[in-house]
A and B are shown apart, each in its own frame.
Chain A
Amino acid sequence: MRISKGIFVQITLAISLFLLIFILFNNLYVNLINKQIGFTFNWLLRPAGFALSESSLNYSPSNSYAWALFVGWINSLKIILSSLIFSTLLGIIVGLFSKSKNKLLRKFSSIYVGLIRQIPLLVQLMFWYFVVFLGFNNSNNDHYSHFFSVSNKGINILNLNLTTEFSALLFGLSVFTGAYIAEVIRGGINSVPSGQWEAFKSVGLSEIQGVFYIIIPQSLPAIIPGLTSQYLNLAKNSTLAIAVGYADIYAISDTVINQTGRAIEGFLILLLSFLFLNLIITYAMEFLNRFVIANQNRRIR
Chain B
Amino acid sequence: MKRLFNSIITLALLTLSGCATTTPRNESRLDIISRRNSLVCGISGKIPGFSFLDSNGQYSGLDVDICKAFAAAFIGDSSKVEYRPLTAAERFTALRTGEIDVLSRNTTFNLSRDSIGGNGLSFGPVVFHDGQGVMVSKKSGINSLYDLASKSICVGSGTTTEQNINDALESLSIPYTPIKYQDLNQVVSGYRQGRCQAMTSDRSQLAAARSSFPDSTDHVILDETLSKEPLSPASVGGDQKLSDAVRWVIYALISAEEKGITKDNIKMKLQLAKDNPQLKPLRRFLGVEGDLGKKIGLSNDFVFKVISSTGNYGEIYNKNLGSNSNVPIPRGLNKLYKKGGIQISPPFN
- A positions within 8 Å CB-CB of B: 9, 12-13, 16, 19-20, 23-24, 27, 31, 34-37, 49-53, 61, 130, 134-135, 138, 152, 164-165, 242-245, 247, 251, 254-255, 257-261, 263
Are A23 and B116 neighbours in the complex by a CB distance under 8 Å? Answer: no
Are A53 and B178 neighbours in the complex by a CB distance under 8 Å? Answer: yes
> DSSP class of A's interface residues: helix, strand, loop or mixed?
helix
Are A258 and B88 neighbours in the complex by a CB distance under 8 Å? Answer: yes
Band of interface residues on B: 35 or more
Listed stretches B142-150, B180-188, B202-210, B297-305; interface member = B180-188
Listed stretches B16-24, B262-270, B278-286, B336-344; interface member = B16-24
Within 8 A of A (CB), among B118-147: 118-120
Residues in B with CB closer than 8 Å to A53 are: 152, 177-180
Can you name 9 A-B residue pairings with CB atoms under 8 Å? A9-B4, A27-B19, A52-B178, A242-B181, A242-B182, A245-B186, A254-B182, A255-B158, A259-B112
Listed stretches B52-60, B160-168, B321-329; interface member = B160-168
Cβ of B222 < 8 Å from any Cβ of A?
no
Within 8 A of A (CB), among B72-100: 88-89, 92-93, 96
Given the complex of chains A and B, what is the CA–CA distance between A13 and B5 in angstroms?
9
Given the complex of chains A and B, what is the CA–CA distance between A35 and B237 in angstroms?
9
**Given contact pairs A242-B157, A244-B186, a sample of 8 additional A-B residue pairs in the complex whose CB atoms are under 8 Å apart:** A9-B4, A12-B8, A19-B15, A49-B166, A50-B162, A243-B183, A245-B180, A258-B88
Residues in A with CB closer than 8 Å to B88 are: 258
Are B8 and A254 neighbours in the complex by a CB distance under 8 Å? Answer: no
Residues in B with CB closer than 8 Å to A36 are: 116, 120, 238
> DSSP class of B's interface residues: helix, strand, loop or mixed?
mixed
Are A261 and B119 neighbours in the complex by a CB distance under 8 Å? Answer: yes
Given the complex of chains A and B, what is the CA–CA distance between A12 and B178 in angstroms?
54
Are B195 and A152 neighbours in the complex by a CB distance under 8 Å? Answer: yes
Are A130 and B189 neighbours in the complex by a CB distance under 8 Å? Answer: yes
Are A31 and B24 neighbours in the complex by a CB distance under 8 Å? Answer: yes
Are A24 and B120 neighbours in the complex by a CB distance under 8 Å? Answer: no
Instruction: Select A243's contact among B118, B167, B186, B238, beta carbons within 8 Å.
Output: B186
- What is the chain B residue whose CB lies nearest that of A138? B194
Residues in A with CB closer than 8 Å to B96 are: 35, 37
Given the complex of chains A and B, what is the CA–CA distance between A50 and B159 in angstroms?
11
Given the complex of chains A and B, what is the CA–CA distance between A39 and B176 in angstroms?
35
Q: A31-B24, A49-B167, A152-B194 are in contact. Are A258 and B176 (CB under 8 A)?
A: no
Q: How many A-B residue pairs have CB under 8 A?
A: 117
Given the complex of chains A and B, what is the CA–CA distance between A16 and B12 in angstroms?
8
Query: In angstroms, how far is the closest chain B Cβ from the Cβ of A280?
Result: 27
Cβ of B113 < 8 Å from any Cβ of A?
yes
Given the complex of chains A and B, what is the CA–CA distance between A244 and B1 in angstroms?
53
Residues in A with CB closer than 8 Å to B11 are: 16, 20
- What is the chain A residue whose CB lies nearest that of B177? A53
Instruction: Select A35's contact among B120, B158, B179, beta carbons within 8 Å.
Output: B120
Residues in B with CB closer than 8 Å to A23 are: 15, 18-19
Cβ of B223 < 8 Å from any Cβ of A?
no
Are A61 and B186 neighbours in the complex by a CB distance under 8 Å? Answer: no
Instruction: Select B193's contact among A37, A51, A130, beta carbons within 8 Å.
Output: A130
Instruction: Select B178's contact among A9, A20, A51, A261, beta carbons within 8 Å.
Output: A51
Given the complex of chains A and B, what is the CA–CA distance between A230 and B226 in angstroms?
46
Query: In angstroms, how far is the closest chain A Cβ from the Cβ of B113?
Result: 7
Instruction: Select B157's contact among A20, A35, A254, A263, beta carbons within 8 Å.
Output: A254
- Which 8 A/B pairs are nearest by Cβ-Cβ distance? A134-B193, A258-B158, A261-B119, A245-B181, A36-B116, A242-B182, A245-B179, A51-B178
Given the complex of chains A and B, what is the CA–CA distance between A34 and B163 in angstroms?
30
Are B12 and A50 neighbours in the complex by a CB distance under 8 Å? Answer: no
Are A261 and B112 neighbours in the complex by a CB distance under 8 Å? Answer: yes
Query: In angstroms, how far is the closest chain B Cβ from the Cβ of A43?
Result: 10
Q: A35-B238, A130-B189, A261-B112 are in contact. Are A13 and B157 (CB under 8 A)?
A: no
Given the complex of chains A and B, what is the CA–CA distance between A19 and B14 in angstroms?
13
Are B158 and A164 neighbours in the complex by a CB distance under 8 Å? Answer: no
Residues in A with CB closer than 8 Å to B186 are: 243-245
